[in-house]
Structure formats: structure tokens, C-alpha cells
Amino acid sequence: MKFGGTSVATVERIRQAARHVKREVDAGNQVSVVVSAMSGKTNELVGWVNESSKLHDAREYDAVVASGEQVTAGLMAIVLGEMGIPSRSFQGWQVPIHTDDAHGAARITEIIPDELNKRMDEGWVPVITGFQGIVPATGRVTTLGRGGSDTSAVAIAAAVHADRCDIYTDVDGVYTTDPRIDPKAKRLDKVAFEEMLEMASLGAKVLMIRSVEMAMAHKVRLVVRSTFDDPNAPQVGPDGSNSGVPGTLVCDEDEIMEKHIVSGVTLAKAEAKITLRDVKDKPGVAAAVFGALADESIVVDMIVQNISEDGSVTDITFTVPDSEYDKSVRVLEAARAAGHVEYARITGSKGGAKVSVVGVGMRNHAGVAASMFKALADKGINIQLITTSEIKTSVLIDDAYAELAVRALHTYYGLDKPGA
Amino acid sequence: MKFGGTSVATVERIRQAARHVKREVDAGNQVSVVVSAMSGKTNELVGWVNESSKLHDAREYDAVVASGEQVTAGLMAIVLGEMGIPSRSFQGWQVPIHTDDAHGAARITEIIPDELNKRMDEGWVPVITGFQGIVPATGRVTTLGRGGSDTSAVAIAAAVHADRCDIYTDVDGVYTTDPRIDPKAKRLDKVAFEEMLEMASLGAKVLMIRSVEMAMAHKVRLVVRSTFDDPNAPQVGPDGSNSGVPGTLVCDEDEIMEKHIVSGVTLAKAEAKITLRDVKDKPGVAAAVFGALADESIVVDMIVQNISEDGSVTDITFTVPDSEYDKSVRVLEAARAAGHVEYARITGSKGGAKVSVVGVGMRNHAGVAASMFKALADKGINIQLITTSEIKTSVLIDDAYAELAVRALHTYYGLDKPGA
């Protein structure tokens, strides 16, 4: 059971979280708990580090920033103890959770689960600091980077062979789309890992991508649910299904009997598009363009390149966040001036919106893209760019039509209906 | 070099503290640094623990409360690094600093100095979290109790055989009396451990008693000085004397050539006196009285018992903080009702002040007490109680005369004069 920053932001909230733990323990389950730092605390610590030095030693950054989880782990163990549940806190080095030495963004290399298993067998609830570990060779504390607590939870679940990894957060599951855009959005009972990955990267920021990747690799079943729900409401059935449970199960595709063609509609706004006209079409041109942007740490999202008519010149279009638009144009003009990239002219604009439909069912259903374009055309929405992957189709449209497009597609694919 | 909570309260103050470290390093000294948590942080953490549960597991208290020092140690290492000084932070378990398992008030049992010595030999400055350690058998984090960072610093200084342990704080040394009471108070160049112990227990809260005891036992020379002084002012001479240095050396009596009869005058206000009249004078009576008070965690300060005239009954007088007066009376009335203590009646009052003169020179100078009483009588101040020890004489007087008494004694013993 993993509790995020908003779930442990105050002692009263830690108590609420602990009631969920008590319910699981009372039901006879063995439980380990993973906690984030109180919301805002990690930012405060990072602020101090940056104030101390712009060029700080990443090992010291980790020593400072890892302290937030230590606080909540201890408090959670105390609150559980008061509820009559034997509990103790573990810092990363006490478990131990081994990582590589990429301080600030370390990767977990091994978790030795013996002590956790022993404690759980004896009826204890270990409370483990998320987000951190230790480099075995140096004995230094590491952090896993932002959102690392989800990754910690999944890794621990894998190491102790947990039946489930429940991620408690401030939303009660994964929705077919953002309920603020379409009030008819429905919570999904189940969603496949692959779908979750696409949704996470498309702006449904419920779970960190890295933790979903790890869960998929180790086949750790995740449940996304809210800390603020009544801890004594009906829960997951013994069959492992979560019907009736206030949450979404993220699991292997095989576990989802009735696959929807489209599981969700996602939206990312403030996307700028940039087109390079008449690019000299020769090997290495794309690498030159996107290499120049990557060197400046500009993250490119959609990329479209058409086959050139006569094989000599082509157009390349891509999107970047609006905030990176001006910088991107400058970078590419400089690259042309330096002779690294050849093109006739550069055009583009800010204020685009990327709308995507995601679903593992697409794999076996032809024509999803075509039906999407038709649904948009019916509303008079012009499509500027199209990209597709195996389980996702995305279009770039004018920002002004973004919400209209999401609602139209949500209805078109039947996601409004009960039981969708 | 140890920096207290007010000395590391902000990143800017940590930077100021680091300038003192740089000066010592530049002078060719090997330095280890010990830091407290930012002032206020430990209270915040303790508050959360108490909010979590009144009856918390002390091991979890420690896990939470120890995190404050971790933050400042990392920040200090970063700031030193930016100044070009190779530095790394050490938590208690990383040094390691071994303690017993009395969580919340642990005692240091052993410090393994190898890693610290190795680092210092290589030109590094280790920055160590004060206040904390680890229980070797359980691998749990401990804290040493309030003021424990001073103790950590002294213990580390002893373990690495340091020439000196400099305690940086928000005052610039130990004074002959409180400068707020007598503006003519002078900073002492040197003070003996025994004097410092008496002064600390008498309200001059510059150093924690425990750290002074440990320094005395291990002959660790302490310097009390201010973080906020100019780091580039003239410093301790190569002979170890601190003439000209803005601070006070706390050292062995032997190192103080010219001993003052009286080194300082201290004051503790809000002392209540309680007298038990006609106490049945038999063995065990004092134990019964003070045992009853100790059971209720009431700390008794001065105790006076006269020899009874006829050997049958006596009077016992003692002082407690004003805030404990009513409770103390209730406890003793209950003890009489239960037959544990026999006395005729109980009298007393709040609003006393204890004034003390302290000095190792007293040992060899008769008549210090007598001269003290005369000095007070000259000002028309009535003495209510007297207690003496080898290097200290204390009197209880009416609160209203407290400051007058301090100033009178300060002048009487020549402490106003330059070079006193």
C-alpha cells in the first residue's frame, strides 16, 4: 500500500491512510506500506539545496532530499502502533533497497526482502520510505527522482511477491477522460499496462510512467484509488477482481476479458507545431534536426515526416511545448546557419492541442483512426497533424476546439455509457 | 567545529558558518563539522510525533526527529563544496556513531573514527549530523536528547583526538554574568570545566551540562564562540591560547594560570521555597519527602536541613520552580495523609531568586561565603536560604532584589574590571 504526498500531508491525513491499512490487516492480509514525503516538503528541501549551490554534489542533494520520507515513515509507524498494529519504519538503507549510483535519479538494482518478509510473517507492518535507496559499494543514500515513491512501491511489491500494489492518491482511479473537461467521464474498472503507459505520457498524471513500466515488466497488479474514500466501504473481492471497489485495477491485458476498442481520451494543451519546409531529403537529416533540439534539452512530442514527392526535398513537422517554441526556432535557424541542417524555411504556431484515443482493443479493430477523423469532421474540427501507434491515435487540432473534441470522441466511442 | 540551530537556521547562515570552516581549513587545520537541525525544525518534528500518538514508540520518534540534522549536514557539505572545500555529509549510522538503545535519550557508546580520520588526512571536511547515532545490534537510528549535538561534537572531538572542539552559537562566549542584568558583564577568556558545569546548571545556558561533563572526562578543550562574528578576525594563536579570540575557552583548571576566586555570578528566578515544620527527625525522612516529589517528576533545586535542637524534630526547606509550587504542596500533603511523612505544618512562597557565585578559586580561599553575605547585607538584601558546594555559594533572596544582588556581587568580586 503506497500513500502519496497529499495522502500524508498532515498527521490527520496519515491517520486516515492508516485506517485503510488497518482494514487490510483486519482482513488477514500481510501488508507493507510505502510513503512519500508530506506534499510540499520535497520542494522545500530542493529549494534549500538550490539556494546552497547551483552546482551541488548530487550525493548531498540526495542526503538532504531523502529526509522527507523518513519523517512520514516514522509518523505512519507511530499512528499504526496507536491503532494496535505492530509496525516499524524502514529507511531505504535499512531494508535494504540497493540502487545504482546515479544520484538524484538512481535506479533500483536489488531489494533484499528477507527482513520485510520476516516482519510480515510475524504480523508486523513495515513502513518503508519511498523514493530512496542506498548504493551498496559506497553506503551513500540515493533518491530515485520525482515520482520515485511509486517506483519504490512497485519494486517492493515485486520483491515480496505481493498479490497487489495499491497506490493511494488524491484521485479515485483512472478515468476515460479528464472529468473537468467532460463531466460524463467514467472511472475504468480495469486498464491494461500498455494503455496506462500511453495515458500517463499523454497527460493523465495518475501514475508515473516508470512505475507502470516496472509493474508491467514484473507483472505487479496495481490498484489506483483514493486515500480519502471511506476506509470501511466494500473492497476488492477474494477473486482479485475489484468490482465494487472505488478504484482502477491496472493489470496485464490478459486479465481484461472484455476489451474496449477505446479505453480513454486524453488531452495535452499548449502544444506548438513547427514545420521545416523543403528539407534536403537525405540520410541523417532527422537525426540532425532532433539532435540539435535534444542538445538544448527540448522535448519533442509528435513527429511527422511525409515521403517526398520526387525524393529530393520533404517537410518535417513536429510539436514542442508552447514555452519552447521560440527557443526551438532559434536552435534550428542556428543549425541551418552552421550548415548542420538544410531547409528552405521554417513555419509554425503555438496554441495547438493534442487529442488522443487509447485502447488495446485497437490492435484488432481496423478503422479506429478513420472513425476518429470522421467524429471530429462531424463537429467541423480541422485536423492539423496525425500520429498513430499500435494502441493510440493522436491528432493535433486548434486549441479552441480541444474540449469539444474530447467530449465528441468520448461520446462517439461509447465511454459515456454506464459500465463502459 | 559545531554549529547550533540558530547558526544553521537558513542557507545564508549556513554559508556564514562555512566561512569559519574555510578559515580553519585555509590555516592548515584538519576539520570535522557537526551540525544541529535548523532552529525550530526539531520542535516541528516533535510536534508531529506527539500529534500522531501520545504513547509513541521511541524508536519511531527517533527515526522522525533525526531527520532535521540530515538536512543541514547535506546543505553544509554542498556550501563547503561550492567554496572549493572537498566535503561530504555523514549521518550517525554512516560514521558510525554507536549508542545504547535508550531511544530518545541515547548515550554514545563508541565512535569508530577511521573513516573520519581517513577523510581528514585526504583533505576532506566531514560534516556529521549531531544529536544522532545508531544501535549496532538493531540498526535503528537513535537520538541523544535535547542539546545532544553538543555532546556529539565533544564525543567526535575525543574520538579523533582533536586539539579543540569549537562550539559556534549565537552568543560569543561565557560571561561573568548575564549582560542583560549587568551591562558591565565581561566575557571570560577561560573558564574551568567545573565552573562551566556550575554555571550551566545555574541558568547560563550556553552549553549543555552533559557535553561539558564529557569534555571534562575526555579532556576535550572547548571554545564557545559566535557564528555571527567576522570569520576573518584574528583567531586562536598557535600556542592554543585564545587571547584576542572572540570566544571563551573551557578547559582543565590546570590550564588556567591566574584563577579568579569568583569567575561568575548567576541568577535563576521564579524559585519557590517550601518549608516542612517540625518534621519527625529519623532516618529516611529526607528520602521519603524527596522521593514523593521525584515520583511526580518535580525537580527540586536547593535543599536545606538544619540539625534539630533536641534530636526529635527538624525543619526541611527546599526550592522548586514557581510553576511546581502548588503541585509540590499537594504531593506533600497527600504523603502526610498517607502516613509516609510526618510533619506539623507546611509553609512557603513563590517569587524567590537564587543568586550564586562560582569559581574554582574558592577552593583555596576561605571566607568567600562570608564576603558574599556581607556584600548583600550592605545593600540591605535579606538572605532566606544558603547552600554551598566546593566552588559555588548560592543564596535565595526576594525576587525583587535579584538584579540588584547580581550587580552588587559582580562589582564586589572585581568582575567589572577589564581583564577580569
For residue A78, the chain B residues in CB contact (below 8 A) are 49, 52-53, 56-57, 60-61, 64
Where helices occur in B27-66 by DSSP H, the ranges are 41-52, 58-65
pLDDT at B343 (0 to 100): 92
| Residue B101 CB contacts under 8 Å (≥ 6 apart), including other chains | B135, B137, B138, B140, B142
Residues A270 and A247 in one domain: no
Instruction: Find the range with the poorest average confidence among A125-129, A172-176, B16-20.
Output: A172-176
Q: What would the pLDDT profile of A241-294 be if each residue is shown by its tens digit?
A: 555 567 899 999 888 877 778 999 999 899 999 999 988 877 788 888 999 998
Residues A208 and A325 in one domain: no
What is the rounded CA–CA span in Å between residue A172 and residue A320?
A: 31
pLDDT > 50? residue B237: no
pLDDT > 80? residue B203: no
- For residue B419, tell me if it sits in a domain: no
Please confirm whether the linkage preceding A96 is cis (ω < 30° from 0). Answer: yes
| Domain final residue pick, A253, A284, A303 | A253
Instruction: Please check whether residue B135 touches A, CB under 8 A.
Output: no
Residues 87-106 of A with CB under 8 A from B: 88-89, 91, 93-94
Residues B294 and B394 in one domain: yes
Residues A55 and A19 in one domain: yes
Q: What would the pLDDT profile of B145-155 be if each residue is shown by its tens digit?
A: 877 999 999 99
Number of domains in chain B: 2
Query: Strands A2-3, A165-169: parallel, antiparallel or unpaired by DSSP?
Result: parallel
Residues A142 and A16 in one domain: yes
Candidates B173, B348, B175, B314; CA nearest to B245 is: B173
ipTM of the prediction greater than 0.90, yes or no: no
| Domain final residue pick, B236, B254, B272 | B254
pLDDT level of residue A45 (50, 70, 90 thresholds): very high
pLDDT at A419 (0 to 100): 54
What is the rounded CA–CA span in Å between residue A146 and residue B398?
A: 62
Predicted TM-score (pTM) of this structure? 0.83
Residues B365 and B404 in one domain: yes
pLDDT at A282 (0 to 100): 79
Residues B249 and B288 in one domain: no
pLDDT > 80? residue A237: no
Candidates A232, A131, A199; CA nearest to A356 is: A199
- For residue B259, tell me if it sits in a domain: no
Task: Considering only the beta carbons, identify the residue of A60, A74, A82 that sits closest to B64.
Answer: A74
- For residue B420, tell me if it sits in a domain: no
Q: What would the pLDDT profile of A180-197 be if each residue is shown by its tens digit?
A: 889 999 888 889 999 998
Share of chain B above pLDDT 90, in %: 66
Instruction: Please check whether residue B75 touches A, CB under 8 A.
Output: yes
Residues A178 and A53 in one domain: yes
Contact at CB, A60 and B14, closer than 8 angstroms: no
Q: What would the pLDDT profile of B10-46 be if each residue is shown by its tens digit?
A: 999 999 999 999 999 999 999 999 999 999 999 999 9
Q: Chain B: give the shortest CA distance to residue A213, in Å.
A: 32
Residues B232 and B303 in one domain: no
Contact at CB, A81 and B53, closer than 8 angstroms: yes
- For residue B417, tell me if it sits in a domain: no
CB contacts < 8 A (A, B): 113
Residues A237 and A371 in one domain: no
What is the rounded CA–CA span in Å between residue B310 and residue A290?
A: 104
Contact at CB, A48 and B139, closer than 8 angstroms: no
How does the average pLDDT of chain A come out, rounded?
90
What is the rounded CA–CA span in Å between residue B87 and residue B80?
A: 6
pLDDT at A246 (0 to 100): 75
- For residue B418, tell me if it sits in a domain: no
- For residue A307, tell me if it sits in a domain: yes
- For residue A418, tell me if it sits in a domain: no
Q: Chain B: give the shortest CA distance to residue A100, in Å.
A: 18
Instruction: Please check whether residue A48 touches B, CB under 8 A.
Output: yes
Domain that holds residue B269: 264-412
- CATH code, A302: 3.30.2130.10
- For residue B328, tell me if it sits in a domain: yes
| Domain final residue pick, A253, A280, A303 | A253
pLDDT level of residue A206 (50, 70, 90 thresholds): confident
Contact at CB, B78 and A94, closer than 8 angstroms: no
Q: Chain A: give the shortest CA distance to residue B12, in Å.
A: 8
Cell numbers at B285, concatenated = 525522612
Residues B105 and B139 in one domain: yes
State mean pLDDT over B371-383.
Answer: 92
pLDDT level of residue A420 (50, 70, 90 thresholds): very low
pLDDT > 70? residue A222: yes
Contact at CB, B60 and A14, closer than 8 angstroms: no
- CATH code, B89: 3.40.1160.10
Sheet holding A108-111, edge to edge: A108-111, A97-99, A132-134, A141-143
pLDDT > 80? residue B137: yes
Residues A119 and A78 in one domain: yes
pLDDT at B364 (0 to 100): 76
Instruction: Please check whether residue A238 touches B, CB under 8 A.
Output: no
